[in-house]
Amino acid sequence: MGMIMRLDKYLKVSRLIKRRTVANEACDAGRVLINDKPAKASTNVKEGDVITIQFGNKEVKVEVLDVQETVKKEEAKELFKYL
């Protein structure tokens, strides 16, 4: 079984959102969805989940490929793919 991780931490580790506080605010504001459902910062993310993030009027949609506790900056983009 693959790892699971809190959404706010995953957003930071994957560098989809660079700061955890910003990730938390986005979740609180209902701007982050997992599999099309609004997700809290504490929601667990696992491989295969689809995360949608609304940045103003732009939307970023990614599929989780991997969940890692720590990852080098240049490897962060291997944790997900854009849909």
Whole-structure pTM over 0.85, yes or no? yes
31-50 per-position pLDDT tens digit: 999 999 999 999 999 999 99
pLDDT tops 70 at residue 1:
no
CB 6 within 8 A of CB 38: no
CB 49 within 8 A of CB 6: no
Q: Where are the alpha helices (DSSP H) in 1-83?
A: 7-13, 20-28
Number of domains in the chain: 1
Identify the pLDDT of residue 33.
98
CATH of the domain at 62: 3.10.290.10
**Boundaries of domain holding 46:** 4-82
